[in-house]
Amino acid sequence: MVSDPTHRHQSVLQSLTQYVEERVPLEEIRKLAGKKKVPAHQHSLWYYMGGIAGMLLGVQIITGILLEVYYVPEINSAHASILKLNSQINFGWLVRSLHSWGANLMIAAVLVHLFSAYFMKAYRKPREFTWWSGLALMAISLAFGFTGYLLPWDEVSFFATKIGLDIAEKMPLVGPVIAYMLRGGDSISQATISRFFVIHIALLPALLLALLGGHLMLVQAHGISEPDDFKKLPAEKKKYEKFFPTFFFKDILVWILALNILFALSTLCPWGIGPEADPFAAAPIGIKPEWYFLAPFQFLKLIPPAVGPIEGELFGILLMSLAAFAFVLVPLFDKGSSNARSRVATVFGVVVLLALIGFSIWGALS
């Protein structure tokens, strides 16, 4: 009598499992998960970064959907709707702060992920496509940041967007066209809000999810990349952790930590909102873009008005584009067969990283 209910309970669970397994290839997924393993070495820490970025993306999707419920993409209501969200909607301030802080943390995590992959030479054969998709994902993340920043329509966001688009306009040939299309005219207006809104909530998410799917599929197909030092080890010295459950549960711990940081930032420094944007007012003194655009911004400020025959800003943009393009080409340059080329790639990465950090700090302080 006593064992009866538990027995029945088990059989219900069993039949349910059976029902699902007949229709979903659970067994194969389980096998895949069982096969997957993560190299354990002193640089294992960096393997967590992609996961953090992914988790934060989840936070962005959820909070983004919630924000869409209240946000009005209309020039006279946008600012008011955010103000209402911050001051009248229960937990509105929290959702918005999570979204804003989450965006910053996510971009930071993607950046760290990108550079750690770069320095561990994870772009080499056969992972070129993983690397390129990753670069595209970085670009999309930045585009998210740029488009999302305008939407609250306050003074700072308006002028930061204006300056950003003005810089984009300087690009040869395509610049003016792109800037015009993004603005929906010659100046930032209702059309700009509408365009940025659609790009931010429809276009970019679709692109991002598709690319991310491909990125993850490739990671799954090739397994986790191993750094050179680890590869050289004799087989018996190579230590691996099972992805499931060992690494996965550790991943969760790291996510919890990242979530804690996000919550602490959101509650201790909730995201405020400045006065409503006034397109006809003069730009406030010392306006700066978000931190992830600070380095290029500061770099452009330093370049003299004209470098030889070329206009200064254009020269700067070309220079930075070249550096970015080098990141695209690096898998073709450093294939792992030449030590000298590998070293060149590493040195180049260090220089770019230091420049990014240096210019960002300089920009923040000036």
Residues that bind other proteins (CB under 8 A): 83, 85-94, 96-97, 241, 245-247, 249-250, 252-253, 256-257, 259-260, 263-264, 267-268, 270-273, 284-285
Do residues 295 and 289 make contact, with C-beta atoms less than 8 angstroms apart?
no
Interaxial angle between packed helices 204-222 and 128-150, expressed in degrees from 0 to 180 and rounded to the nearest 10: 160
- Give the nearest distance from C-beta 252 to other proteins in angstroms: 4
- Give the nearest distance from C-beta 87 to other proteins in angstroms: 5
What sign has the CA pseudo-torsion 111, 113, 119, 125? Answer: negative
Closest CB to other proteins among residues 70, 129: 70
Closest CB to other proteins among residues 11, 267: 267
Closest CB to other proteins among residues 257, 347: 257
Amino acid at 361: I
Burial of 249-266, coded b for 16+ CB within 10 Å and e otherwise, reads ebbeebbeebbeebeebb
Closest CB to other proteins among residues 259, 318: 259
Closest CB to other proteins among residues 80, 181: 80
Strands 306-307 and 310-311: antiparallel
What beta strand segments (E) does the chain contain? 37-39, 240-242, 306-307, 310-311
- Tokens 């993850």 — which residue? 216
- Please, what is the end-to-end C-alpha distance for the chain in angstroms? 78
Cα 40-25-213 angle, rounded to 5 deg: 60
Closest CB to other proteins among residues 14, 87: 87
